[in-house]
Structure 1
Amino acid sequence: MTAKQEFLVEGIVSDMAKWLMEDRNLSLQVALGLIYNSRTFEQLQNPATGLCTESSAYNYDLLDSELKKGKIVQTEI
């Protein structure tokens, strides 16, 4: 992963943590734990998936789906 990709991932994780804290009334530690232990984060770190170039909101939707359904669900056609 390049430095630019790492920077993008950090920004996405920051946004997702903020939204988890707001939406689920979680502490920062719990929100980051959910993110860092998710399949979404694993895929976000893989440059081949291209997720680091998607919006924070797109990645948050994937994470939210994973947390609700136990797996990543992409609903677009």
Structure 2
Amino acid sequence: MNELTEMKADMVKELAILLMRQNKDMELNEALAIIFNSDTYQKVMDDKAGLYYQSPRYVFSFLDTEIKNGKIC
């Protein structure tokens, strides 16, 4: 696994942790499903967007807004 892939994987892990902390009853598989089906995830994976370089809390703010606006499939 290269460094870039690791950074992206770490971001997804941190997003899942933050999502489960916010929603105490949420299981890991549900948190990951939300993340993987989000626009935020697509941006984390996009090398040009560079979100994987940002802090997890900053990126989580995008995911949280996306969830609250009902844009997750």
TM-score, scaled relative to structure 1 = 0.82
> Quick one: distance in 1 between partners of 2:55 and 2:8?
10
Q: State the one-letter code of the partner of 2:37.
A: N
Report the counterpart of residue 10 of structure 1 in structure 2. Answer: 9
Aligned length: 70
Gaps of 5+ in 1: 72-77
TM-score, scaled relative to structure 2 = 0.87
Residue 3 of structure 1, CA deviation: 2.0
Alignment of 1:1-77 (within 5 A): 3-25=2-24, 26-70=26-70
> How big is each residue's C-alpha offset from its partner over 1:6-35, in whole Å with a ceiling of 9 and x where there is no partner?
111111111111111111121000000000
> How big is each residue's C-alpha offset from its partner over 1:25-72, in whole Å with a ceiling of 9 and x where there is no partner?
21000000000110000011000001111111111111011111135x
Over the residues paired in the alignment, what is the CA RMSD in angstroms? 1.5
> Quick one: distance in 1 between partners of 2:70 and 2:3?
30
Identity %: 30
